[in-house]
Chains A and B, each alone.
Chain A
Amino acid sequence: MFHWLEKNPFFFAVGVFLVIAYAGIVTILPDFMESARPLKGTKPYTVLQLAGRQVYIRNGCNTCHSQLIRPFKSETDRYGKYSLSGEYAYDRPFLWGSRRIGPDLHRVGNYRTTDWHENHMLNPQAVVPGSIMPKYGFMFKKSADLKTAYAEAYTVKKVFDVPYNQPGMPKLGTYDQAKKAAFIQAGKIVAGMKNQGVKDAYKNGDIKEIVALIAYLNGLK
């Protein structure tokens, strides 16, 4: 048979395709629905948090930080409760990472605060001597992209039925409503910060990237 295949490229290609395709089907499909179910109490991200999550992704924080606490004592001691599948139900994309050059961040909201992040993102070495994390001063100057964040929330609601607007869940509404809600949430964070530029910008109706990022990090619990 193999000799025959070697002279018949079409059937050869079909054979190869069948052999490589079915492993994916067998491993990914059976638990697909089960794995997509949210854990009770897990909520979709607010627009401000999504904007922060996009900052996180655009700057490749996930190249140095994992968001997956494995079920070992050494990890739960260091980072908190081990991660559960349902906690990630609204994570598109997932951000587990593959290398812990820095610590895991899946529950960083439990033990780091707004002002700690502010100092640390501006100059990690000043807060943790010996840190190799880059400085992110530019986030104090660039504005958060609420439009794209809203676009993402709107898309997942529409296409994947993510339960915005339902009882106990974040409201989405129109872009203007979402923007207003984002400003209220951002206000609380800005109040906990001391950077004058960020405060002034907020007063002028401009949310800086760092504010959105901190909203996201504070929500990781």
Chain B
Amino acid sequence: MNIRTGDSGPGMITDLTGRLATGEPLSDRERRTLATATDILALGMAADEVRRQRHGSVTTFVRVANVTIEAAGTAPPRAAGEIRLTGEPASRDQLLAAVRTARRAAGDRPVTGCSLPDLETLAAREGVSLSSLLVDLRDAGLELIARAPIDRLSDAFVDVIRAAGLPVARLTLEEDPGERRLDVLQRVARLDNTAGTIKAFAPLPQRVDPAVPTTGYDDVKMVALARLVVENIGVIQVDWGLYGPKLAQVALTFGADDLDNVSPLEPLDLGARRAPLEEIRRNIRAASMEPVERNGRFEVMAR
């Protein structure tokens, strides 16, 4: 049997989340209790309170044009607030050219792209330092690195991106850490983000085994714990495209305050009420929050 019965009742969870929020250290046993807690309502209530203290009822979202490196010149949809280059770069020259091309096509909208470990690999392959590659990308017009998966990086990455002046849009998790979730979150919480070089933290895994996907409980627990533990990154984000409207919306009531990767398309055949923009606003309002559109620089675009 694989039944998780880590909870010792709502009182215990509330006590632990309270201590966590004040930065008090927890014993190994208490950490395990929280990481395996099934009283998601106690976790959610605590996380929602912290979220509201920090962001009130505002929920930001960004409409993203995902453009492959090979197709960087494609004109992005008018509604996109971020142009994100995706895919693994074949070479430094190819990537720099793609950034310049995307930069021209983007107008005044920010161009983001790449995963930091991919850039590490590229730098090593080309025999240049990661720092110099980042500086070159910045100079070519890349405004933010799209993602930095914490479970693929050493903590030193923060110094490198700070020195290069190229921030990371979102710290991500590649795999589900399972019962190690609190350890991972505490590692994130210890990163030095005083300069604000990490804009957001997306605590839900980017890769999921389709045969054994994470559950709803796993997901909302991770979001709630991230909100309670990770104070150094104010934006807790869920990927709308990856996690879908239902889970992403529920996550807003468990501590998330930002929705990434909303489609910039406005398909005519869906009708105004079912277009992505209306759908996301409706979902945010139905969670008793106020929708605020931002761009890839995390600047408010429209309320």
A interacts with B: no
